[in-house]
Amino acid sequence: MNNSTHLDSIQKEAERFLREDPGNLMGSLVREENKEENSDDELIWATPLLGVARGDDPIFLEFRDRVDARHWTPAEAFAAGGYDPAPAEELSVVSWILPHTPVTKRDNARQREWPSERWARSRIFGEAENNRLRDHMVEFLKASGHGVVAPMRLKGWTQMPSDRYVFVSNWSERHIAHACGLGTFGLCDGLITPVGKAVRIGSVVLRARLDPTPRPYTRYDEYCPFKTRGKCGACIKRCPAGALSERGHDKRLCSAYLDDATAPYVAENFKFTGYGCGLCQTSVPCTSGIPKIQ
C-alpha cells in the first residue's frame, strides 16, 4: 500500500463513518419553526478535509516556543498512548477538518447575540461525534496494523493555565491542523481553512510514513487579511461579548460569555446541557473559505 493510497483510504473511512454513524445526526430541533426543514437524516458535519505532517517536521518543536514548552511532539503523544518510543521520522500526523453544514452556518449567521440551535447542537453533540471519529480512526488504523493514538483521547491530554495565552493544551488541534497544511490562524484565533473557519478539528498520530501535505503558506496567520494588511476585522463586530478587538481574542471574556451567558440560554431555549457561540465564525468573509479581500 503506497502512502498516497493510504491517506486516501483514511479519507474514505472518515467520510463513510460520518455518513453512516447515527452520532452524526443533528437530532430533533425542538422548536416548531424548524420542523419543516429538519429531516431525521440531517447530518451535523459535512465532508471532512484531511492533511498530513511528518512526525519529525521541525514545526512541532517550534510549537514549544509558539504555543507552550509543554506541547507534545508527535513522538511524545505516541509514547503517551502506551507504545514503546518510536523514532519521529517513522510517525505521521493526520488531521481532519469537520465543516459545519451550509444550513447550520446560515442559521448562526442570522444571530446577533445567541447561538442558533443547530450551532449549539453541533458544538456539543458534534464534538461528541468528533470524539467517536477519533476513537474510530484509532480502531480502523490499528486493524490495518499501525500503532496509533488520538492524542486528545489520552489520559495525559490536558489543558493548562498559561501566562501568555490564559490557557493552552498539550495537543492543540488547530496548531496540528496548521502543521498538516490545513490552514492559518485568524484574528479571532480560529483556523481559517480552505473550507473556512466554521469547523471543528481532530487528529491521530500513527506509526507509518505518509506523504506530507504541502503547507501553502509561510506565515501562521497568512489567510487573515486583518493580520497581514489590517483589512477586514468583521469578526470584531460579530462578537457579542466584546472579546475581539484589533489586539485579537480575549479568551477570558469569550470563555465567560460561553459559560455564564450561553449555557443558561441553551438550557432554557433548546433543552439540553451545553453552550456555544461561534458568531465570529459565521457571517464573516472567512466562514466558508479563505477570504478574498484585496
- Among 105, 109, 117, 126, which Cα is nearest to 267's? 117
| Nearer to ligand SF4 among residue 67 and residue 277 (C-beta) | 277
Is 188 an interacting residue with respect to ligand SF4 (CB under 6 A)?
yes
Kindly state the number of chain residues that form the binding site for ligand SF4, as judged by CB under 6 A.
26
Task: Give the interface segment with ligand SF4, choosing from 3-11, 59-67, 145-153, 238-246 (CB under 6 A).
Answer: 238-246
For residue 163, what is the DSSP state?
T
Task: Give the interface segment with ligand SF4, choosing from 35-43, 56-64, 81-89, 223-231 (CB under 6 A).
Answer: 223-231
Which of residues 114, 125, 257, 275 is near ligand SF4 by CB under 6 A? Answer: 257
**Nearest 5°: phi and psi at 37?**
-95, -15
Q: Between vectors from CA 284 to CA 266 and to CA 41, what angle results, nearest 5°?
A: 50
Residue with cell 484565533: 189
| Nearer to ligand SF4 among residue 6 and residue 105 (C-beta) | 105
Which of residues 118, 277, 282, 283 is near ligand SF4 by CB under 6 A? Answer: 277
Is 239 an interacting residue with respect to ligand SF4 (CB under 6 A)?
yes
How far apart, in Å, are the Cα atoms of 193 and each of 85, 201, 289?
32, 11, 6
Is 199 an interacting residue with respect to ligand SF4 (CB under 6 A)?
no
Least spacing, CB of residue 137 vs ligand SF4, in Å: 27
Which of residues 44, 177, 180, 284 is near ligand SF4 by CB under 6 A? Answer: 284
The CB density around residue 259, as the number of other CB atoms within 10 Å, is 11
Cβ neighbours of residue 167 under 8 Å, at least 6 residues apart? Answer: 159, 160, 161, 251
- Among 95, 279, 43, which Cα is nearest to 200's? 95
Task: Give the interface segment with ligand SF4, choosing from 104-112, 144-152, 210-218, 224-232 (CB under 6 A).
Answer: 224-232
For residue 196, what is the DSSP state?
B
| Nearer to ligand SF4 among residue 83 and residue 220 (C-beta) | 220
Which of residues 53, 97, 198, 280 is near ligand SF4 by CB under 6 A? Answer: 280
The dihedral sign for the CA sequence 149, 152, 153, 156: positive
| Nearer to ligand SF4 among residue 187 and residue 204 (C-beta) | 187
Is 232 an interacting residue with respect to ligand SF4 (CB under 6 A)?
yes
| Nearer to ligand SF4 among residue 18 and residue 234 (C-beta) | 234
- Among 61, 124, 102, 129, which Cα is nearest to 287's? 102
Which of residues 241, 266, 282, 288 is near ligand SF4 by CB under 6 A? Answer: 241
- Evaluate whether 199 touches 185 at the Cβ level (below 8 Å): no
- Among 198, 274, 173, which Cα is nearest to 46's? 198
Query: In this structure, what C-alpha cell is assigned to residue 258?
Result: 460561553
Is 67 an interacting residue with respect to ligand SF4 (CB under 6 A)?
no
Interface with ligand SF4 (CB under 6 A): 186-188, 224-226, 232-235, 238-239, 241, 243-244, 249, 254, 257, 277-280, 284-286, 291
